[in-house]
Copies of this chain bind each other. A is one copy, B any other.
């Protein structure tokens, strides 16, 4: 309905860009999950490659450094047989005084097929998609505090692998919701996929006011918030926010909101523990939980490749759920 909704989808509701979960219909999210399922075996094969995007040019446009995210997108692209260009834009063309749009126009003129964009500013991927020509797809790999939709979808994929259905699930998101693009994208994904309840847990300084308008329940106490949940998603805590207005100290934060075995006991015994990484052990999560039997943190990383392969191939229109891999 919204402008963002339209920008991401073709007239017949197919994924064209992947910028935000907000406004995407449930059918598209399910198609991403189903497509990722078909790719999840590729990483197990002797030859970890499918020829779906052979001869395509994918540009990793990273205005903000991120080895981990860049690596998973690069791997996903290579396993789809695409050619990948890694551009650290901060350090290159724009330093010659060229405008962002001129840099993009040039990359487009080089017949690129996809931009994977990470940028410190919210809305950057939308801006780029809005100005992209017809033959370019844009994937948001994280923009400011706005959205990180592939992270949200790999989390949904991981959840679906552990539970038969989204409907009965209670999910708690714990930590610095205020600054988290991951949390925002997860809330939209979880509500669109129809989970029973989404909770956010954290100190008042780190929960945005009015977040209940997204349909989530707010808790400032772990014991109450974790009660009977099926999924616990721990957010990464930016250590640089650990002092000053937001938080008293690492120790105090860990005491109140760090996930320990004791606190995890309030969740269902079958609950799974997730974290987008990298982990701050002993700050937002105890090592015994991060490495424990309920943790699915490394499964998330593995699933991230399949989900990114799905989104890339769908956005480039090379994949049809009906026909399977080309």
Residue positions of A touching B, CB distance < 8 A: 43-49, 54-57, 65, 67-68, 71-72, 74-75, 78-79, 83, 85, 87, 91-93, 96-99, 102-103, 105-111, 239, 277-281, 298-299, 301-302, 304-305
Interface centre among A99, A109, A305 (most CB of B within 10 A): A109
Copies in the complex: 3
A54 to chain B: closest residue by CB = B47
Task: Establish whether residues A75 and B57, one from each chain, have CB atoms under 8 Å apart when the complex forms.
Answer: yes
Q: How far is the CA of A54 from the CA of B46 in the complex (A)?
A: 9
Task: Establish whether residues B106 and A298, one from each chain, have CB atoms under 8 Å apart when the complex forms.
Answer: yes
A105 surroundings in chain B (CB, below 8 A) = 298
Given A98-B278, A111-B305, A47-B55 contact (CB < 8 Å): yes
A49 to chain B: closest residue by CB = B55
11 extra A-B contacts, CB within 8 A, seeds A48-B111, A68-B93: A43-B111, A65-B92, A68-B106, A71-B87, A72-B110, A98-B279, A99-B281, A102-B279, A108-B298, A110-B302, A111-B302
Task: Establish whether residues B280 and A106, one from each chain, have CB atoms under 8 Å apart when the complex forms.
Answer: no
User: Which of B71, B85, B109 is within 8 Å of A110, CB to CB?
Assistant: B71
A299 surroundings in chain B (CB, below 8 A) = 109
Q: How far is the CA of A68 from the CA of B78 in the complex (A)?
A: 22
User: Which of B67, B72, B75, B103 is within 8 Å of A93, CB to CB?
Assistant: B67
Task: Establish whether residues B55 and A102, one from each chain, have CB atoms under 8 Å apart when the complex forms.
Answer: no
Q: How far is the CA of A283 from the CA of B84 in the complex (A)?
A: 34
A75 to chain B: closest residue by CB = B110
A96 surroundings in chain B (CB, below 8 A) = 278
A113 to chain B: closest residue by CB = B48
For residue A244, give the distance in angstroms from its CB to the closest CB of chain B. 18
